[in-house]
Chains A and B, each alone.
Chain A
Amino acid sequence: MKSKDERATAPSSLASSQTRAQEAEPEAVASPAPAVRTARTRRSDRQLPASLLTPPAPPPPPHLDDYQSIIGQAQVDALRFLARDLKGKTLKMVNSTAVGGGVAEMLNRLVPLLSELEVPTHWDVITGGNDFFEVTKAFHNALHGSPYKLTKAAQEIFLMYNEQNRERLQFGEELVVIHDPQPVGLIRSRDKTPASWVWRCHIDLSNPNGQVWEFLRPFVEQYDAAIFSSQSFARQLPILQYLFYPCIDPLSEKNKELPESQVQKVCEEFGIDRSRPIVTQVSRFDRLKDPVGVVQAYKLAKKYVDCQLVLAGGGASDDPEGAAVLQEVKEAAGNDPDIIILDLPPWCALEINAIQRASTIVVQKSLKEGFGLTVTEALWKGKPTIAGAVGGIPNQIIHRLTGVLVHSVEGCAFQIRYLLTHPEFARSIGVSGREHVKENFLITTNVKRWLLLFRILNEAKSRRKAPG
């Protein structure tokens, strides 16, 4: 999960937890506000509107009933029925960061909703020094397939901090969920507790660095179950493996309904002409998102259909590689006045929301992808979406039914042309795409999965305890 919502806040129970992420939070805020860069020469020096220079205060988290108008009373009732048998049973989530990053963002919404359903949910964050987080960052990249030599020193640092956290944390709950590899060693406390233990892996393990995976695997195999974000991310393991798709919150700043006037205001601020078709890609300036490929596809399509291209993302102001990619994109764009490149700070969720809603088509032409939550966001807004058939994207886009999958610049260009000239088809895949998200990729579905898992593991434990 890569999307970030810096407005998310950890529950108050975390206020005293000292975490690296909390220390890092002001860093994002303190970054110099990037300029809005556009290929339109007349707007090349445009700065961000003053209202975007600092992050706004976080809105309060929604309550379950706030989702009723979106998912229907019957689905809200189903959540309550599911939770009824779990009333009073407790759950603990453990991860490595309280703010920033998709996991913290998701937990910020999930924990209050589970607690509202009378399944008290505690959220603990592990602590560690810079040396620990340097090792876990390297592990993270290695598990994604990057070359890495696992040293004895790295193993010792990893184990030492896991032991420290194991001594610090209490595990009195009925279900303990450990998120990602950083705290995976906490499983060593399992024998001291009656809890079921679950490892929730948010990263793609389909092609891991062998040394790192072989180091972590013995820990993973001690859990009762593992959870992955896509079938293709899983490993062959001797424990139960479940599939929990990542999710979006339809009431978050990035996804909530917006009044037309607000969409219009944002477009005016960024020089987007709503009287003409708008093709948009929202993503960091990262080569794996292929923004240059999107510019090439737009240029091929533009020979046949009139449109503008909006590339909205971030990461260029505080990441040297991001800045280099942004430069490549600007060079590819040349002086085409219809290409609008926006380097936005991470708290511009509402502006991203407005741009997605103003778009005629959304593109996510990734060459490699995690689950691809920007695709989920576009589908939720009913936008006909063209995306690379990589990572978790095929879970979301069923070709020509909920969106369109492409494998090349040329394929992307053709689909832009096709969707812009076949609005009825574009509308129909947009409608189905939104329904797909409603059924499978909303926070409420995620709440349901946790409740189901809790019930299933409890029942399995009861069966094991029953005589005979």
Chain B
Amino acid sequence: MMPTPEKPPARKPDKPFYFNTSEHLLRIERQRATNLCEFLQALQTCPDDSIFQHTFRTLQEHHFIRHGFSNDFAHWSLSACHEPVLGEQLASVDVREFTAIDGLRGRIVEIVDEFLQSHPRSGSRPGHEPFYFCAADIVVLPTSFVANSLTGFLDGLNQVSVHSIHHHFIEARLRLHRMSNDFSQWLEEEVGLPQAAEAIEHIDIYTTTMEGVRLQIARIVEQVLDLGPRPQ
């Protein structure tokens, strides 16, 4: 249940919200796995960038899928290894529960390790195709949108690319090292809207597209604006 957004205080944010975006260039890494045993080993040794790529980043690459796609590890377990139990378990890993790659890697390794202990024969069975570990070089870019007010924020939100939404809403956790996102942080700290910030944080990214996420955030902000006088 989403908290009801509150009436906004008549306060102008001290700091504007700068909408940025990030662009990624995919690198092909050395690790590859042809079965689940190799997969587990590679998960333990691959660079942090690879874990980021196949979990956080792949959500951006596949932002248009409403449901049925969670991360590359889950997808490979199901489509190449035909292991639906493992696929479901890996798909249930919510990247937003992690503020550092270490914790996320640990959770994925734990799931695969436990699965292989209970299904030892699955470990050496070759997958239909190998899993190729990739990573990404990231370049953060400005956009032309800067919000000095809540209405300006809504305007920018509606016009930036979905890459920008992903950058501020999903990737931000690793930057902030806290269970939040850039939008919520700004709304709470600069505009004094903790309930709207919390409502945004509760949006389920795995049952909607990134456009859907944008719409839900916009709706929450619009609701706040409609409830009271718009900040000057």
Q: Which residue of B lies closest to A455 (CB)?
A: B139
Q: Are B26 and A389 in contact (CB under 8 A)?
A: no
Within B134-173, the residues touching A (CB, 8 Å) are 134, 137, 139, 141-144, 159-161, 163-164
Q: Which residue of A lies closest to B129 (CB)?
A: A394
Q: Is B185 an interface residue (CB 8 A)?
A: no
Q: Are A440 and B61 in contact (CB under 8 A)?
A: yes
Q: Are A401 and B65 in contact (CB under 8 A)?
A: yes
Report chain A residues within 8 Å CB of B134: 231, 243
Q: Are B69 and A243 in contact (CB under 8 A)?
A: no
| Residues A82 and B27 in contact in the complex (CB < 8 Å), given A394-B129, A398-B69 | no
Q: Are A236 and B30 in contact (CB under 8 A)?
A: yes
Q: How far is the CA of A235 from the CA of B23 in the complex (A)?
A: 25
Q: Which residue of B lies closest to A232 (CB)?
A: B132
Q: How far is the CA of A459 from the CA of B24 in the complex (A)?
A: 15
Q: Which residue of B lies closest to A402 (CB)?
A: B65
Q: Which residue of B lies closest to A206 (CB)?
A: B130
Q: Is A436 an interface residue (CB 8 A)?
A: yes
Most B CB contacts (10 A, CB to CB) among A231, A234, A241 go to A231
Q: Is B57 an interface residue (CB 8 A)?
A: no
Q: Which residue of B lies closest to A431 (CB)?
A: B64
Within B2-29, the residues touching A (CB, 8 Å) are 21, 23-28
Report chain B residues within 8 Å CB of A241: 27-28
Q: Select which of A77, A242, A448 is within 8 A of B144 by beta carbon.
A: A77
Q: Is B96 an interface residue (CB 8 A)?
A: no
Q: Are A432 and B65 in contact (CB under 8 A)?
A: yes
* B-contacting 9-mer, from A35-43, A55-63, A67-75: A67-75
Q: How far is the CA of A232 from the CA of B137 in the complex (A)?
A: 20
Within A232-267, the residues touching B (CB, 8 Å) are 232, 234, 236, 240-243
Report chain A residues within 8 Å CB of B130: 232
Q: Are B159 and A452 in contact (CB under 8 A)?
A: no
| Residues A449 and B25 in contact in the complex (CB < 8 Å), given A74-B143, A82-B139 | yes
Q: Is B62 an interface residue (CB 8 A)?
A: yes
Q: Are B164 and A74 in contact (CB under 8 A)?
A: yes
Q: How large is the interface on B (under 10, 10 to 19, 20 to 34, 35 or more residues)?
A: 20 to 34
Contact mask A75-100 → B, CB, 8 Å, 1/0? 10110011000000000000000000
Q: Are A389 and B69 in contact (CB under 8 A)?
A: no
Q: Select which of A81, A231, A399 is within 8 A of B132 by beta carbon.
A: A231
Q: Are B64 and A436 in contact (CB under 8 A)?
A: yes
Q: Are A399 and B79 in contact (CB under 8 A)?
A: yes
Q: Are A242 and B26 in contact (CB under 8 A)?
A: yes
Q: Are B137 and A452 in contact (CB under 8 A)?
A: yes
Q: Is A338 an interface residue (CB 8 A)?
A: no
Q: Select which of A78, A228, A240, A402 is within 8 A of B23 by beta carbon.
A: A78
Report chain B residues within 8 Å CB of A453: 25
Report chain B residues within 8 Å CB of A439: 61-64
Q: How far is the CA of A82 from the CA of B141 in the complex (A)?
A: 7
Q: Select which of A73, A81, A243 is within 8 A of B28 by beta carbon.
A: A243
Looking at the assembled complex, report how far the CB atom of A351 sits from the nearest CB atom of chain B, in whole angstroms.
Answer: 30
| Residues A452 and B23 in contact in the complex (CB < 8 Å), given A74-B161, A231-B28, A241-B28 | yes
Q: Is A368 an interface residue (CB 8 A)?
A: no
Report chain A residues within 8 Å CB of B79: 399
Report chain B residues within 8 Å CB of A78: 21, 23, 141, 143, 161, 163
Q: How far is the CA of A435 from the CA of B210 in the complex (A)?
A: 12
| Residues A242 and B161 in contact in the complex (CB < 8 Å), given A398-B69, A398-B75 | no
Q: Which residue of B lies closest to A227 (CB)?
A: B28
Q: Are A456 and B139 in contact (CB under 8 A)?
A: yes
Q: Is A400 an interface residue (CB 8 A)?
A: yes
Looking at the assembled complex, report how far the CB atom of A416 sits from the nearest CB atom of chain B, in whole angstroms.
Answer: 21
Q: Are B161 and A72 in contact (CB under 8 A)?
A: yes
Q: How far is the CA of A78 from the CA of B23 in the complex (A)?
A: 9
Q: Are A452 and B25 in contact (CB under 8 A)?
A: yes
Report chain A residues within 8 Å CB of B139: 82, 452, 455-456
Report chain B residues within 8 Å CB of A234: 28, 132
Going nearest first, the 3 A-B pairs with the smallest beta carbon separation are A435-B64, A231-B132, A74-B161
Can you spell out 15 A-B residue pairs with CB atoms less than 8 angstroms apart?
A74-B159, A74-B160, A78-B21, A78-B143, A81-B141, A82-B23, A82-B139, A231-B132, A242-B26, A242-B27, A398-B75, A438-B64, A439-B62, A440-B61, A452-B23
Interface, chain A (partner B; CB < 8 A) = 72-75, 77-78, 81-82, 228, 231-232, 234, 236, 240-243, 389, 394, 398-402, 432, 435-436, 438-440, 448-449, 452-453, 455-456
Given A234-B132, A243-B134, 15 further pairs, Cβ under 8 A: A73-B159, A74-B161, A78-B23, A78-B161, A82-B23, A231-B132, A232-B130, A241-B28, A242-B26, A401-B69, A432-B64, A436-B62, A449-B25, A452-B24, A455-B139
